[in-house]
A = this chain, B = another copy of it.
Amino acid sequence: MTVSRALRDGASIAAETRDKIMKAVEQLGYVLDQSAGSLSSKRTGFVAVLVPSINNSNFADTARGLTDALQGSGLQLLLGYTDYLIEKEEELIESMLRRRPEAIVVTGGKHTPRGRKLLEKAGIPVIETWDLPPKAVRHVVGFSNAEAAEALVRYLHEKGYRKIGFIGGTSNRDTRGADRRLGYERAMAALGLMDTRIISFGTPPISMKQGGEALAQLIEQWPDVEAAICVSDLSAFGALTECQRRKIPVPNRIAIAGFGDFEISSCSHPSITTVGVNCYDIGRRSGELLLRAIEGERARRPIAAETIMTQYSVIARDSA
């Protein structure tokens, strides 16, 4: 018991005893067993976070925001990657729950029925992010991907573009990508532009290379297209370089726009018009909400469900 106290902070221990213990600990390379500790204390000290991809700077920024918000709370993140698949999400939810997280953050509002049920019955705070689900499990921190895409279409329309195409993946696996396409269609209709030009190419998330190939399809199918909205900045960059290889001037002959404001969009030449999403902020606010929710659970006074809307904005650059 004395060792246990010495290894946690804030307990009253004689300096001499503590030193003796610490010396032995160093010498042995002893490290506390947290499974045993949390079994006893009923606090695991971690939060499960499920994001679609390990390699997407948008979600990395969200994770950073979460990490920063949880700084000093004694809570760690445990990240899981769903690969944009709700089936994989379901598996991850279960395997995370087995480790008894104190809260869980998921990306998006679409889950398998069992995944949803697991979240509902988990008995811990749940936050859905990056989206505004029609029927939230509980807390939400996100924005409407459809509305953000609509704003981009309206921006291009104001700039004088009319024959606007959309490049995205072949399935609805990336539900946020599907929402963006929906927003494109809605905005086009609202503007009286009934001739949508949609290319679906590649399994989401589509790569730079696939963005290039999709652009080739777009101009082949609709040679009169004036602007291409791509489901993400990466595919937009691929589309841009495909134009460069074909000596098609951007934005003079065709405009390109992306989504997400990745570094590549500000750095490419020409720079790429895109929609900036407050990725870091989504994480940060999720983290803050989380802390309050966990506090509420511990005090046996659960907080009410909250929906926090984050901002997005069209970022005008040279490609459009």
Chain B contacts of A35 at CB under 8 A?
34-36, 38-39, 44, 99-100
Question: Are A31 and B78 within 8 A (Cβ)?
Answer: no
Instruction: Check A288 for interface membership: any CB of B closer than 8 A.
Output: no
Residues 47-71 of A at the B interface (beta carbon under 8 Å): 54-57, 60, 63-64
A168 contacts chain B at the CB level, 8 A cutoff: no
Q: How far does the alpha carbon of A100 sit from the alpha carbon of B39 in the complex, in Å? A: 14
Are B121 and A28 within 8 A (Cβ)? Answer: yes
Flag if A267 contacts B212 (CB, 8 Å). yes
CB distance from A248 to the nearest CB of B (A): 12
Within 8 A of B (CB), among A69-126: 76, 78-79, 94-95, 97-100, 117-118, 120-122
Interface of A is mostly: helix
Contact A79 B79 (CB under 8 A): yes
Contacts of A31 in B (CB 8 A): 94, 97-98, 118, 122
Task: Using known A-B contacts A54-B63, A55-B55, A208-B264, determine if residue A34 contacts B99 with beta carbons closer than 8 Å.
Answer: yes
List A167-206 residues whose CB lies under 8 Å from chain B. none
Q: How far is the CB of A263 from the nearest CB of chain B, in Å?
A: 5
Q: Which residue on chain B has the smallest CB distance to residue A245?
A: B269
Alpha-carbon gap, A60 to B78, bound state (A): 16
Q: Are B267 and A238 in contact (CB under 8 A)?
A: yes
Say whether A16 faces chain B, with CB atoms less than 8 Å apart. no
A274 at interface (Cβ–Cβ under 8 A)?
A: no
Q: Can you report 24 residue pairs joining A to B where beta carbons are below 8 Å apart?
A: A29-B117, A29-B118, A29-B120, A29-B121, A31-B94, A31-B97, A31-B98, A33-B98, A35-B39, A39-B39, A54-B60, A55-B55, A55-B57, A55-B60, A76-B95, A207-B263, A208-B264, A209-B267, A237-B264, A238-B267, A241-B267, A244-B269, A245-B269, A264-B264
